[in-house]
Amino acid sequence: MVWCLEAYDTELREARSREYTTSRRTADLWNLIPRIDFTDSGHGIVFQARPHRGARKPTIRRMDHATEHLARLRKEARYG
């Protein structure tokens, strides 16, 4: 199964980051990345992994926030 990992802006509903994986573990960890809140508007960036079907959209570079949290979550899962 292919998973689409997206981080999107809740106000504009536009993707800020998008990539694909076949790893269920990576998809599960992606869903655990904390939301980024914008203090002035109440909107933010949400991280969502979902099963992907159909044509792939262009990949958008991963956000540093996601990279840092995925590394932390993997380490926590490994050493619990």
pLDDT, tens digit (0-9, with 9 covering 90-100), for 19-50: 999 999 999 999 999 999 987 888 999 999 99
- How many whole angstroms separate alpha carbon 28 and alpha carbon 45? 17
- Percent of the chain at pLDDT > 90 equals 80
Helices 64-79 and 24-31 sit at what angle, rounded to 10 degrees?
Answer: 110
For the entire predicted model, the pTM comes to 0.86
Q: Taking Cα atoms as reference points, which of 68, 69, 63, 27 lies closest to residue 48?
A: 27
Q: What is the mean pLDDT of residues 5-30?
A: 94
- Number of folded domains in the chain? 1
Greatest alpha-carbon span in the chain: 39
Range of the domain at 74: 3-79
Structure tokens at 16: 């800020």
pLDDT of residue 79 exceeding 80, the answer is no
3-state helix, strand, coil in the chain (%, to 5): 30, 30, 40
